[in-house]
Amino acid sequence: MVKKLRKKFVITAMLSLLLILVVMIGVINAVNLYSVYQDADNLLSILTTNDGRFPGMNNEAFKKHFEQDNSSSSSSSLETPVPPNERFAPDAPFSFARLNITRSAEMPYQSRYFVVKYDSSGNVTETDLLHIAAITEDDAKEIAASINSSGKSKGMYHSYRYKKKENDDGSSLIVFIDLSASLFNSFKLLIQSLIIGALALVAMFILVFIFSSQAVAPVVESLDKQKRFITDAGHELKTPLAIISANVDVLELEAGKSEWTSSIRNQTKRMNSLVKNMLTLSRMDEERINVVFSDFDLSQTIREAATSFQTVAESKGKKYQIDIADGIHITGDKNAINQLASLLLDNAIKYSSESGSIHVILSKNKNIVFEVANTCDNIPSGNLDRLFDRFYRADSSRSRESGGYGIGLSVARAISVSHGGNIEAVRDGDKIIRFIVTLPGQLPKNKK
């Protein structure tokens, strides 16, 4: 039980931490990518507004400087006098003046971009490739033609962010900014954040695993107290119930049977059944139930259990059908499997509709399937898995009339799980409910 609780705690904690890390990494990288595109759009707005150049930059001077040898005597001016409010300065539209954070004045010379201009007839009049080296004039024209044919005014073309501007005279220009370096840095950030996130997840797993025992300790202590109480109470109840049953026998010998002694006997049987099931569940939770796994004829065991309930079912006017395949063997605990069958059959008789039907099926394909189906007037709505919760009763008044405590199906599930199988409740239309037990054909490796 402690291992199961620790496992659930670790899995839940790690899934929560993983979700947080995924969201954080996703948000950080999404914001970074958005910032790259936003910065590019700001630069594109400046370039398209200033006819494909930065304020204060003289393309002719830049071209001469670019064509000259890199000598210290070069004194070509890259700027022409412009009004201060047009210079690339902190008060430019893409600066962060309010935060006292501004872009470097070298930004115009660091940016990689090219411009293609068209006249009103759609003919290329100019291609400015001074600020990029990886694009030829033919490449620039081809890329620009592709953008024109797409009809988009801005977007991405491979690693280039572009913006198209239409002038009043019908001419136009398209500015492309190379974002390959920024996108590569964004990709590196993604890889680095994933690596850091993975390392953080491993570190958190180690910490969660180390401290998981302390985290579940209060729950384990509470469950242990509950189990001890159930076990002690069960054993304490056995003695008075045995005495009551013996006293009833004496009364019936002396005064004969009466409705009062019959009522007492029925109630002691109910209490004995409840105590037995509670002790079985408690032992299974503590994984100390004495089960003996061996090979036995499952077909014969189920047939004997089903036949023993047939008279009771038919006496209540219920149609009872048995379809059991012969020769099915299983490695398991025969007594526990017999109890499982008895619990499901007893449940079907108690809760099937008046003049209804009960169908018992045993078959084997890849796995062994044991099924008990019965008609039911009021099948619970919602998830039927809750039928296997302890002390759950869909109809309390009906359960009291039938003598149920809402614990039998919990025991059935515990027996199924202890044999490496599972049990489920399935609706078949509006009036039929099926309890299906699936068991492996062979003993699980961890069972002895």
Strand order in the sheet with 422-428: 319-324, 357-364, 368-375, 432-439, 422-428
Write the CATH number of the domain with boundaries 294-439: 3.30.565.10
Residue that is written with structure tokens 């109470």 in the block: 233
Q: Which tokens in the block code for residue 311?
A: 């008279």
User: What letter represents residue 211's amino acid?
Assistant: F
Name, in order, each residue with C-beta under 8 angstroms of 124's C-beta and a sequence gap of 6 or more.
116, 117, 118, 141, 144
**Pairing, β 357-364 against β 319-324:** parallel
pTM beyond 0.75 = no
Domain extents in the chain: 2-185, 294-439
Q: Which tokens in the block code for residue 41?
A: 């759009």
Q: Which tokens in the block code for residue 174?
A: 């398209």
- pLDDT tens for the chain, 448 residues long, are 677 788 888 999 999 999 999 999 999 999 999 999 998 998 898 888 888 888 766 555 555 555 554 444 444 444 444 444 444 444 444 444 444 445 666 777 778 889 999 988 888 888 888 888 888 889 989 999 998 888 888 899 898 999 999 888 888 899 999 999 999 999 999 999 999 999 999 999 999 998 888 888 887 777 777 777 766 777 677 778 888 888 888 888 888 888 888 888 878 877 887 777 777 666 666 555 556 788 899 999 999 999 988 888 888 888 999 999 999 999 888 988 998 999 899 888 888 888 889 999 999 988 999 999 999 887 877 778 888 877 666 655 444 455 555 677 888 888 888 888 999 999 888 789 999 999 987 654 445 4
pLDDT at 407: 74
